[in-house]
Amino acid sequence: MGNFGLFVRFTLKEGTAADFDALVRETAEAIRAKEPGTLIYVCHEVDGAPSERVFYELYADHDAFEEHERQPHTRHFLSERTKYVTKTQVDRLSPYAGNNPTEVGQ
């Protein structure tokens, strides 16, 4: 099975961006240290939309994503984010072409 990705857009409650960003940084540090199957986990600010955050996540495969979801730091993020988020949109992605040295195009 090939790569598995997510595109997630969070709309934040007014005045919570700094706290949400701190939670994201803490979570991302644990992901880097403990999740070899998480190939990319990047959160972006959105120009002109200070209450929006966009995540791009790429996993080695769906099993790596499931392992990510079981991690204590991920569970903590998922429970804590409710303090900061008013809306969440998630798109599940299946890469099929491009410049990805891991598996795209196989």
- Residue 105 maps to a domain: no
Q: Is residue 101 part of a domain?
A: no
| Residue 104 within a domain | no
What pLDDT, in 10s, does the model give residues 17-26? 999 999 999 9
pTM over 0.85: yes
The Cα 8–Cα 54 span in angstroms is 6
Distance CA 88, CA 53 (A): 10
Measure the CA–CA gap between 91 and 89, rounded to whole angstroms.
7
In a domain, 99, yes or no: no
pLDDT above 90 covers what percent of the chain? 85
Does residue 100 belong to any structural domain of this protein?
no
Query: Domain containing 74 — which CATH number?
Result: 3.30.70.100
Residues of the domain holding 58: 4-93
103 lies in some domain? no
pLDDT at residue number 94: 84
Arithmetic mean of pLDDT, 73-78 = 98
Is position 102 within any domain? Answer: no
Q: Is the residue at 30 inside a domain?
A: yes
Q: Is 104 helix (H, G, I), strand (E, B) or coil?
A: coil
Considering its fold, how many domains does the chain have in total? 1
Q: How far apart are CA 38 and CA 4, in angstroms?
A: 10
What would the two tokens of residue 53 be? 């955050």
